[in-house]
Structure 1
């Protein structure tokens, strides 16, 4: 399966979060992921959370990357990455019910099939993956959580 990798430069400005969501939505349509699919809605929420974290907590420019299936594959893995120039590790926070923030990484943990982070140069990369699965039914079993092999890559930089 061919995978399309796209990226967007993010300025350290809260207005960039909305721009990142709009950009991600526009890229999903070209990969065969419908805007009404739960995968699309979840991905946009994860984009919002990870870009917000980069903008608010680092004050540095960042890069948003998406790895999307190149065709309308019924099963595929979508990967989202946000790389920034801050070496500060992401720290999940525990907040009470009254707090208006601090739940971003808990949402990522709860919504993504896999996630993690790694050091990258003088900064870091936070990533998460979502598996696109067919609706389970008598003829289509649910996804098994396997990681697909990426045979070819296409690349677009914005």
Structure 2
């Protein structure tokens, strides 16, 4: 199976989150993941959350990495997203109150990704998540991805 690994340097500016989302969309085009399928939208949301966390909570540049499986198979594997930053402080998932305007990022990642975690990397850390390509397969016009059901029309 072919695998494509790509990476983007992200500046320490919250405006970089939008650039990261656009970059992910452009990389998905050649991967066999269609821009309008639920997997693509989920990936973009996960990237947005992870990059936002890195930029806002560290105030430093980060590196976004994606590993995309080849498209030769009907269900070609797992998509992995990683965001590495220069802070050694581990991620701290929390549950935000209803009125709070932030604090839901890792809770969202946990709910949408098939797996997620973090590891030390150099003097900082990398937070990663994975989505299984076949999890979003449509069978008989109905499918599910990340616990959310959808109907193909």
TM-score normalised by length of structure 1? 0.84
Say if 1:13 and 1:55, in contact at 8 Å, map to a contact too: yes
Aligned equivalent of 1:58: 58
**Structure 1 residue ranges, 4+ long, deviating more than 4 angstroms after superposition:** none
* Structure 1 residues 23-46: Cα deviation after superposition (integer angstroms, max 9, x where no partner): 000000110100111000000000
Q: Please give the alpha-carbon distance, in whole angstroms, between the structure 1 residues aligned to 2:82 and 2:105.
A: 15
CA RMSD of aligned residues (A): 1.5
Aligned equivalent of 1:82: 83
TM-score normalised by length of structure 2? 0.87
Say if 1:6 and 1:66, in contact at 8 Å, map to a contact too: yes
Q: Which moved more, 1:64-73 or 1:101-110?
A: 64-73
1:135 matched to 2:138? The reply is: yes
Say if 1:64 and 1:80, in contact at 8 Å, map to a contact too: yes
Which runs of 5 or more residues in structure 2 are unaligned?
145-153
Q: Which moved more, 1:28-37 or 1:64-73?
A: 64-73
Aligned equivalent of 1:156: none
Which runs of 5 or more residues in structure 1 are unaligned?
143-158
Give the paired residue count: 139
* Structure 1 residues 77-99: Cα deviation after superposition (integer angstroms, max 9, x where no partner): 10000001100110011211001
Are residues 107 and 72 of structure 1, via their aligned partners in 2, closer, same or farther at CA, if it must alter by over 3 Å?
Answer: farther
Question: Map of 1:116-131 to 2, 5 A cutoff?
Answer: 116-131=117-132
Give 1:72 deviation, angstroms.
5.4
